[in-house]
Amino acid sequence: MEHLSFVDLQASSGITDEAITQEFSIQPSFLDEIKRGEKEAPAHLINSLTILADFQPDKKCLDTGSQPTSDTQLDQKMSGQDFLHFLESFDRIGRKTEIFERNGLKYYVNDFWTARQRQSNRIHEISYRACFKAELPSFFIERLTDTGDSVFDPFMGRGTTLVQAAILNRRPVGNDINPLSKMLVEPRLDTPSFSKIIERLNALESDYTLSDEQTSNPDLLTFYHPETLDKIEYLRDYFIDRTATGLIDNVDSWIRMVCINRLTGHSSGFFSVYTLPPNQATSVKRQKKINEKRQQTPDSRDVFAIILKKTKSLLSAYDQNFHSSDYILSTGSANDLATLKDDSVDLIVTSPPFLDIVDYAQDNWLRSWFAGFDIGGVEIAIHKKVEDWVGFVRTCFVEFSRTVKTGGFVAFEVGEVRNKSVLLEECVAEAVQGLPFKLLGVMINDQKFSKTSNSWGVSNNSKGTNTNRIVLLERIDG
Ligand SMILES: C[S@@+](CC[C@H](N)C(=O)[O-])C[C@H]1O[C@@H](n2cnc3c(N)ncnc32)[C@H](O)[C@@H]1O
């Protein structure tokens, strides 16, 4: 880019005069002088424009949710019956839907959504344990809601449902008991401009000086080089201070989200030495063993460059139209949704914690340290006994019956647990008994062509399938 004149560089960056004067605090007359070559542009402006000029939106990633699929039109909301007929006749990829009944439940099996059909927008790429792919909520949102309808996930995790709802111009509504969740979701609903993020990162980097003091978290040196840890602690203190003083804005929140995502991982794109994937933090003890086994010590990482790189990747197919100022987020239990009004939700797409398979507290200890709260104090649901899980799910559906409009839907993804010896869809059927919900059916999204309906019963214990099980319910009068 060095050979470009300022005018060419500005043109390649796509940044207007107005944006330069506002976001980089440059007087219009000074900008004119720069453009005429009479004055030198400040280094931070050149840096930012160079980065922006290098920033090529990846159009193919815009596919998910931005285009209707061939067999249905976006914004033509289906009734429950129409949706079931649609599942029965689904053959977009040349495979007929297998339909069978078991214990009073009707099952629909097909390759309803796969990464082969679409590619999700990169803004989803924030890792979180047990998250689903964006294709899943997209399938339901496109068919069961209209533009402007409220789409809710009471166990939102990284916010796949909400972000996809925003992309599809629906109103995102979300909740999770883990405070980290809101920190991961909100910046992708209320997204700052790329240039504002660069400007803040530049300011943070120029204010940073290596601390003279020893770290108060020596255990973390198992994961980080001392200089990297010093930068992480600097950023952590900054976010905690901005939160305490009420100065935190959407630019800070964006950078904090990216930091949380980059804390640990298994490549040089993360702040840490090689460790588990970013959605699971291993213990200090276990990390010592990993370091010994791999004969590794943490090397110094360019924290600010890593944040910038991940930001570019997340925003590479971002469109300002996805920005949603009209969203509702809460932190609490899904069976006590005090902030949500009665009859305010058109569709729920969610996946609850499945019995005891994921320990969210253990996975998130390092992320919650960075975010400045104690995850030990959060009552994340872990139910070991099936009857306890059923009881918990029932209390959630009591809340859903209050908040979901009559004629609205719930798509409840239950996953596969305990080698299919427990069929959670049957547990959901039990949990909703007597509540104003009609169970329309169970969808199994199966990405293997060789399956027969027999495979989905308790008798078949085959492992390694890549499936989702979704219980679909309609809110009825009552
Ligand atoms: C399977 S994950 C959801 C992942 C989400 N679908 C996504 O794509 O990221 C389940 C979530 O439930 C949350 N959770 C656990 N107990 C909860 C409760 N009582 N109320 C609300 N959320 C809870 C966990 O923190 C976790 O984020």
CATH number at residue 391: 3.40.50.150
Percent of the chain exceeding pLDDT 70 equals 88
229 falls within a domain: yes
Place of tokens 């993020």: 197
437 beta partners: 475
Q: Which of 155, 340, 383 to mutate to test the pocket of ligand 1 (most atoms within 8 A of CB)?
A: 155
Q: Are 334 and 352 in contact (CB under 8 A)?
A: yes
Q: Which of 177, 189, 468 to mutate to test the pocket of ligand 1 (most atoms within 8 A of CB)?
A: 177
373 falls within a domain: no
pLDDT at 461: 35
Give yes or no: residues 300 and 228 share one domain: yes
Does the C-beta of 381 come closer than 6 Å to ligand 1? yes
Q: Are 415 and 469 in contact (CB under 8 A)?
A: yes
137 falls within a domain: yes
Angle between the N-to-C axes of helices 28-35 and 6-13, in degrees from 0 to 180, rounded to the nearest 10: 120
pLDDT at 75: 55
Residue 106 CB neighbours (<10 A)? 16
Does the C-beta of 185 come closer than 6 Å to ligand 1? no
409 falls within a domain: yes
Query: 406: domain range?
Result: 62-182+319-360+378-475
Q: How far is the CA of 35 from the centre of ligand 1 (A)?
A: 52
Cβ burial, residue 94 (10 Å; 0-12/13-18/19+): exposed
Q: Which residues lie below 8 Å from residue 117, measured CB to CB, with a gap of 6+? A: 69, 92, 93, 135
Judged against a pLDDT cut of 80, whether residue 324 lies above it is answered with: no
Does the C-beta of 380 come closer than 6 Å to ligand 1? yes
Q: How far is the CA of 63 from the centre of ligand 1 (A)?
A: 27
Does the C-beta of 140 come closer than 6 Å to ligand 1? no
Task: Provide the token pair at 449.
Answer: 């062509």
For residue 76, the SS3 value is coil
pLDDT at 473: 98
Phi, psi at 412, each rounded to 5°? -115, 105
Give yes or no: residues 233 and 286 share one domain: yes
Mean pLDDT for the chain?
A: 87
pTM: predicted TM-score of the whole model, two decimal places: 0.85
Q: How far is the CA of 327 from the centre of ligand 1 (A)?
A: 18
> pLDDT tens for residues 55-86?
544 333 333 333 334 344 455 799 999 999 99
Strand 345-350 with 150-153, pairing: parallel
Greater confidence (420 vs 285) lies with 285
Does the C-beta of 351 come closer than 6 Å to ligand 1? yes
pLDDT at 1: 47
Judged against a pLDDT cut of 50, whether residue 6 lies above it is answered with: yes
Which of 146, 160, 132, 73 has the alpha carbon at shortest distance from 408? 146
Give yes or no: residues 248 and 333 share one domain: no
Give yes or no: residues 309 and 325 share one domain: no
**Cα 364 to Cα 360: distance, rounded to the nearest angstrom:** 6
Does the C-beta of 414 come closer than 6 Å to ligand 1? no
Q: How far is the CA of 341 from the centre of ligand 1 (A)?
A: 21
* Dihedral, CA of residue 398, residue 414, residue 152 and residue 435, to nearest 10: -20
Q: How far is the CA of 181 from the centre of ligand 1 (A)?
A: 9
> pLDDT tens for residues 414-468?
977 766 777 899 999 999 999 999 999 999 998 764 444 444 443 333 444 457 8
Give yes or no: residues 42 and 74 share one domain: no
Task: Provide the token pair at 60.
Answer: 């193919």
Q: How far is the CA of 351 from the centre of ligand 1 (A)?
A: 7
Nearest CA to ligand 1 atom 26: 157
Q: How many domains does the chain have?
A: 3
Does the C-beta of 368 come closer than 6 Å to ligand 1? no
Name which of 71-80, 165-174, 325-334, 344-353 the model is least confident about.
71-80
Q: Are 35 and 7 in contact (CB under 8 A)?
A: yes
DSSP 13-34: HT--HHHHHHHTT--HHHHHHH
